[in-house]
Chain A
């Protein structure tokens, strides 16, 4: 099983990304973040610190927000992965994206994929969360531009789109 030298035999891994079945041959040491970016060309997932501090690489793994730099691609076998690309569509901005634009919740945009995926996971489970909860959850995502206040405002405003339609009225609709 073990080879000499730096390279190890690739392992075949199958999982779903944004609704599409993928099958990649990867070295065991490849992180899921690098697999998404370099093997699947899904470069929306950003890689900042590469050791689980900055949150830019956050993706959804079976619905839960996780850091893709702290996972091996081989650990994703059989999983349902959603990246920031899977939370957008070509037709229009989603309510969460619109809210980020309206509140100037990004400047350079490097942290934004992690903010969007994390906020989406939070709002999908807790559409009635308060500002304190938003701050607590986003504490795992670093932003060096905005000072966070516009991001928190954007997430709070987007809550309406995640509530059942009877409550949210015509703002329900497409949440990607």
Chain B
């Protein structure tokens, strides 16, 4: 388990980092916290010619909270999200989800941008980005662009990023104070990859009906998913035991998981329903 040989660069400006990535014909990779990339290197699933360390890029740091929502710099580590008390109100769903990311030591190093760029279908941050209609701001040799989360995740460990592009920040839209939400994840052991998880939120109109329902799941497909059919069950309805049961059934029907060494497809399908059910119960409580 030794890493393959590569060169290493640690640029101090974003343009310099982009230039380095662009100059290696797709054989260079950005290194953020390394908590996914270094295991990939150890297994030799990645063998880049050059690693470009992003740790000195000040543009990629910091959590900014404004009337537009929450912007997380790509190099924000999970630990910073856990420690930021402003997020308890500014984005409780994000905070709840991040508590499930791997283990204590990994949360001290792993980053928001690294997780998004890695694109693991069972990872929490991509799931939150999908569920919340996040925008992912990137910069590359042809300039800056903003990618919608729905367009960003294209398959297992596959994203819309081109080899010369670096994620700068991810922007989560404003979170109304009275929004109802829930996050539920199941893994065999604490900190393991999710076998399935569900993130849900909705706003309540004055007559108690759900509006703007968002339901996202991870761990059940080659990328994080939004379940529009479950959202349709919830919108303009009162969220009670009957609507939650209907949503659970719809969630099971909406996914098409595959058998793998961790679980059968049937088990995962049932698990997704249970996660959606529990998350909705928490939201409605």
A137 touches B104 (CB 8 A): yes
At the interface, is chain B mostly helix, strand, loop or mixed? Answer: loop
Which residues of chain B come closer than 8 Å to A42, judged between CB atoms? none
Q: How far is the CA of A104 from the CA of B3 in the complex (A)?
A: 36
Q: How far is the CB of A171 from chain B (nearest CB, A)?
A: 25
| Chain A window 137-160, contacts with chain B (Cβ cutoff 8 Å), 1 for yes, 0 for no | 101100000000000000000000
B191 at the A interface (CB under 8 A):
yes
B105 on the A face (CB < 8 A) = yes
> How many whole Å from A102's CB to the nearest CB in chain B?
24
Complex interface: chain A residues within 8 A of B267 (CB): none
Contact with A along B107-119 (1 / 0, CB 8 A): 0110000000000
Q: How far is the CA of A31 from the CA of B42 in the complex (A)?
A: 10
Q: Across the interface, do A136 and B106 meet the contact criterion of CB distance under 8 Å?
A: no
Task: Produce 1/0 per residue, B18-45, CB < 8 A to A.
Answer: 0000000000000100110011011100
| Per-residue interface assignment for chain A, residues 9 to 49, with 1 indicating a CB less than 8 Å from any chain B CB and 0 otherwise | 10100000000000000011111001000000000000001
Cβ–Cβ < 8 Å partners of B108 in chain A: 61, 64-66
In the complex, what residues of A have CB within 8 A of residue B3's CB? Answer: 29-31, 72
Docked-complex contact B5 and A6, CB < 8 angstroms: yes
Distance from A40 Cβ to chain B, minimum over Cβ atoms (Å): 18
A83 on interface, CB distance cutoff 8 Å: no
Interface centre among B2, B3, B41 (most CB of A within 10 A): B3
B-contacting 9-mer, from A51-59, A92-100, A161-169: A51-59
Q: Chain B contact residues (Cβ within 8 angstroms of A): what range?
A: 20 to 34
Q: Quote the shortest CB–CB distance from B37 to chain A (angstroms).
A: 9
Interface membership of B284, Cβ < 8 A:
no
Residue ID in chain A nearest B99 by CB atoms: A136
Closest A residue to B40 using CB positions: A51
Residues A65 and B42 in contact, CB atoms below 8 Å apart: no
Verify A28–B6 contact, CB threshold 8 A.
yes
Cβ-based interface call for A120 (8 A): no
A69 to B127, CA, bound (A): 27
Whether A51 pairs with B105 at a CB distance below 8 angstroms is no
B7 in contact with A2 (CB, 8 Å) = yes
Contact (A74, B10) CB under 8 Å given A2-B49, A52-B35: yes
Say whether B222 faces chain A, with CB atoms less than 8 Å apart.
no
Contacts of A140 in B (CB 8 A): 102-106, 191
Q: A11-B8, A139-B189 are in contact. Are A51 and B104 (CB under 8 A)?
A: no
User: Which residues 99-132 of A have a CB within 8 angstroms of B?
Assistant: 118, 122
**Least CB distance, A10 to chain B, in whole angstroms:** 11
* A74 partner residues in chain B, CB cutoff 8 A: 8, 10, 53
Q: Is B281 an interface residue (CB 8 A)?
A: no
**For the complex, is A50 an interface residue (Cβ under 8 Å from B)?**
yes
Q: How far is the CA of A72 from the CA of B39 in the complex (A)?
A: 12
Contact (A28, B8) CB under 8 Å given A67-B105, A140-B106: yes
* Distance of A98 Cα from B6 Cα, bound (Å): 43
What 7 A-B pairs come out closest when comparing CB atoms? A140-B103, A28-B8, A50-B1, A29-B3, A139-B190, A51-B39, A64-B108
A-B contact pairs, 6 of them (CB 8 A): A2-B49, A28-B8, A55-B103, A64-B79, A70-B39, A75-B53
Q: Other than A51-B43, A55-B105, A65-B108, give 20 A-B pairs with Cβ distance below 8 A.
A: A9-B7, A28-B5, A28-B7, A29-B41, A30-B3, A34-B2, A49-B1, A50-B2, A51-B38, A61-B109, A64-B108, A67-B105, A67-B106, A75-B31, A75-B55, A118-B104, A135-B190, A136-B104, A137-B104, A140-B106
